[in-house]
Amino acid sequence: MGATSATEFTVGVSRDFLDADGRNVWGDIRLGELDAAGIDWHYLPRDTGELLGKDVDGLDAVLFAGPAVTARTFEGAGRPPLLFARFGVGYDTVDLGACTRNGALVTITPDGARRPVATAALTLLLAVLHNVTAKDRLVREGRWAEKEQWMGLGLTGRRVGLIGLGNTARDLVGLLRPFEADIVAYDPYCPPEVASGLGVRLADVDTVMAEADAVIVMCALTEETRHLVDARRMSLMKPTAVLLNVARGPIVDEAALIEALRVRRIRGAGLDVFESEPPALDNPLLGMDNVVLSPHALAWTDEMSAGNGGSAVRAVLEVAAGRVPPFVVNRDVVDSPRLIGRLAELTARHGTPAGAGA
């Protein structure tokens, strides 16, 4: 990391990337590309669940994973960052309105997360269908003879229902092709021609829930999708069907899911996310054999680290050159005079066309 000067572009990296010994738990997230570009960067001094004005004041950009970005992030920050580059695709803890009002771009990393999350979804699907958790326990607990009780389901020719048909789900569609799965999806924002080109049939959410042998939640968490998968919709599922969530916990009504699993209304579930993370130790899900669980880390691989990190770093480098990066989620800010003025300053410094790359 270079020495700081008044003319340098300065980046803060959230401290939740580090373990107690100061090592980046994600491994190589491509921060070396900032060094190679002569960008001054440092880890933020505080490990915090919410970025405050004192944490970000004077920074040009923040590359972050876990901390929330709220209205308080801008309070007391005389010179708030131009960019909040999220390491990941979720932004439910980011106050987009506050960022837009303060002329700050928010980016995510769909290009980096797409394949790792799609692969994780396929992994979880196969684990649930093959009763991996239950069979693992049989061996560990000396219950080998009970294996006949845990015959799995093959994926080939099954109907897979997707709640959300964004980039990651579309990647999963490709991974499912060798299994000759029939795919039906709910996504009111997906153009019909895109779904048709993928060989996916679009339907309303109730139809997806009722027809699928496996329902996989892959949509973003919004007020529209909170508890989208509730008790009524779970009651529509086949008793042989399974439910997976690799998106955000609150999209599924967890209490309703626990009840559906308890009375065997559905066959099983696979969860990489929970309504409350981490789940309480007395959460009934933790004791169920027909559930495969992961601590919101199933896609946590070196591929994910490099992909998310590289995408976030590229967003930083674009802004440092005075350009609007790809994958901005608060697009309204692009026309903000405050943002345009600060980008123009960077453009003058680097001699690049203002707004190029938008």
Q: Is residue 282 predicted with pLDDT exceeding 90?
A: yes
Active-site amino acid positions: 248, 277, 296
Q: How do residues 227-258 score in pLDDT, each as one tens digit? A: 999 999 999 999 999 999 999 999 999 999 99
Residues 6+ apart with CB under 8 A from 210: 236, 237, 238
What's the Rg (C-alpha) of the chain? 22
- Is residue 4 very low, low, confident or very high in pLDDT (cuts 50, 70, 90)? very low
- The SS3 call for residue 225 is coil
C-alpha 243/C-alpha 218 separation (Å) is 11
Residue 226 one-letter amino acid: R
Q: Is the peptide bond before 278 cis (omega within 30 degrees of 0)?
A: yes
Q: Is residue 357 predicted with pLDDT exceeding 70?
A: no
Mean pLDDT, range 204-233, rounded to an integer: 97
C-alpha 345/C-alpha 162 separation (Å) is 45
* pLDDT in the model for residue 349: 73
CB atoms within 10 A of CB 351: 8
CB atoms within 10 A of CB 72: 15
Give CA separation, 168 vs 62, 89, 140, 219, 303, in Å.
25, 10, 35, 9, 14
Of 281, 280, 215, the C-alpha closest to 251 is 215
Mean pLDDT, range 263-291, rounded to an integer: 97
> Which superfamily does CATH assign the domain made up of 10-108+321-350 to?
NAD(P)-binding Rossmann-like Domain (3.40.50.720)
List, by residue range, all CATH 3.40.50.720 domains of the chain: 10-108+321-350, 114-293
Q: How do residues 321-356 score in pLDDT, each as one tens digit? A: 999 999 999 999 999 999 999 899 888 876 554 444
8: which strand partners?
Answer: none
C-alpha 114/C-alpha 170 separation (Å) is 9
Mean pLDDT, range 125-153, rounded to an integer: 96
Q: Please say whether the beta carbons of 62 and 83 come within 8 A.
A: yes
Percent of the chain scored above 70 by pLDDT? 96
Task: Domain 114-293: state its class.
Answer: alpha beta
C-alpha 296/C-alpha 246 separation (Å) is 8
C-alpha 109/C-alpha 1 separation (Å) is 24
Residue 38, CA atoms < 13 Å, CB-side half-sphere: 6
* pLDDT in the model for residue 180: 97
Q: Is residue 320 predicted with pLDDT exceeding 80?
A: yes
Q: Where are the alpha helices (DSSP H) in the chain?
A: 32-36, 53-56, 96-101, 110-129, 132-140, 167-176, 192-198, 205-211, 231-235, 254-262, 302-320, 337-350
C-alpha 328/C-alpha 315 separation (Å) is 9
* pLDDT in the model for residue 348: 83
- The SS3 call for residue 291 is strand
* pLDDT in the model for residue 216: 98
